[in-house]
Structure 1
Amino acid sequence: MTTEIWDAYLADGTLADLKLTRGEPIPDGYYHLVVEAMVCHEDGSLLFVKRAASRASFPNYWEFSCGGSALAGKMAEQAIKREVLEETGLSLDKLSLYNTYFDDRYHCYFHIFQAMTTNDKKAVQLQIEETADYRWVSPSELPLFIENHLLIPGQKAAITELFLH
């Protein structure tokens, strides 16, 4: 397995002259880029994926985002397209940046995107070690879905803000 190398960023979002290695401590004041996308289909439905039971954090929880750490040399847009393709097999037709923020606990610089795909909804290919199931949820089904399924903490509020207001 190859070691992941990340670019380091400063707290103002500028690229630092430092490389970081996954699994090694990140010095204070530095962050690595993490990208996430909320994937919507052109028909308005939202893609949810169920995390595999073997995942260390939030096993068997549903989440409405795909993503991961950006490899060194990759911009956020390139990284999220790669992550979504890797995790779902779907290509993205449109991306718009929703939010950016820093998480000091984990030294992460997050870029959150809203993404749209026109791929066939049955074309989803799960990344077996990461995900166990998927579901496209229409806007009318969304309130009941988020009420009756385990969701990653904080995502229920984000879904409500983005899609139910």
Structure 2
Amino acid sequence: MIIELWDVYDKNRNLTGKTIKRGSKLGEYDYHLVIHVCIFNSKNEMLIQKRQPSKKLWPNMWDITIGGAVQSGETSTKAAERETFEEIGYRVDLSNDRAFFTINFDNGFDDYFLIEEDIDIKDLRLQYDEVEEVKWADKDEVLQLAKENKFINYWFLEKLFEIRKQRGAYTK
């Protein structure tokens, strides 16, 4: 079994020089970095994944395209590329991109990457222990799944569809 290490950050997102094993408790005022990738197609549908029933957190729930922890020594961009390939077998080049937005959570920072790619899901190779299935879903379907408690209910879920091509100030 491979031991996964995370870099530890301070509240200002500066590296502290410490690492922690995945699953270990972070110290007070210690934080780690997580990435999420939302892949949209040209029809304004998001590629969503259903988490395996064996997952510790949110088993059998639908989720945004990709999510995962940044490993020690990685940038969030490299982690987003790695996790996308690991979870759905799709190579994405984010070398000229940065996180679309970041949300602070109790134990760290969530970096979100929003990209547009028209992907044929038949060509994807799903990571068996993580992802049960994937499908394209429009905003109405995603919001309905969330309403039925079948989709992880991110508080900004509806906004993802509206801001996916925005940078800077949001105007409707």
Provide the secondary structure at the position in 2 that maps to 1:74.
coil
State the 1:12 CA deviation: 0.5
Normalising by structure 2, we get a TM-score of 0.81
Q: Deviations over 1:98-124 (max 9, x none)?
A: 3213222xx222111112335433212
Does the Cα contact within 8 Å between 2:47 and 2:64 map onto a contact in 1? yes
Q: Quick one: distance in 2 between partners of 1:23 and 1:143?
A: 35
Q: Quick one: distance in 2 between partners of 1:22 and 1:57?
A: 14
Q: Deviations over 1:49-79 (max 9, x none)?
A: 0111122222211111312111111101000
Does the Cα contact within 8 Å between 1:34 and 1:70 map onto a contact in 2? yes
Aligned residues: 158
Gap runs ≥5 in structure 1: none
* Residue 79 (structure 1) aligns with: 79
* 1:40-55 pair list within 5 angstroms: 40-55=40-55
Paired residue type of 1:99: F
Provide the secondary structure at the position in 2 that maps to 1:143.
helix
* Residue 162 (structure 1) aligns with: 160
* Structure 1 counterpart of 2:143, from 141, 146, 149: 146
Does the Cα contact within 8 Å between 2:44 and 2:161 map onto a contact in 1? no
34-43 vs 122-131, which deviates more?
34-43
Q: Quick one: distance in 2 between partners of 1:60 and 1:122?
A: 21
Does the Cα contact within 8 Å between 1:38 and 1:65 map onto a contact in 2? yes
Normalising by structure 1, we get a TM-score of 0.84
Does the Cα contact within 8 Å between 1:11 and 1:102 map onto a contact in 2? no
State the 1:24 CA deviation: 2.1
Does the Cα contact within 8 Å between 1:98 and 1:114 map onto a contact in 2? yes
Provide the secondary structure at the position in 1 that maps to 2:86.
helix
* Residue 22 (structure 1) aligns with: 22
Q: Quick one: distance in 2 between partners of 1:145 and 1:103?
A: 23
Q: Deviations over 1:36-59 (max 9, x none)?
A: 111123554310101111222222
State the 1:21 CA deviation: 1.4
Does the Cα contact within 8 Å between 1:40 and 1:116 map onto a contact in 2? yes
CA distance 1:152–1:84, shift in 2 (3 Å): same
Structure with more strand by fraction: 1
CA distance 1:69–1:144, shift in 2 (3 Å): closer
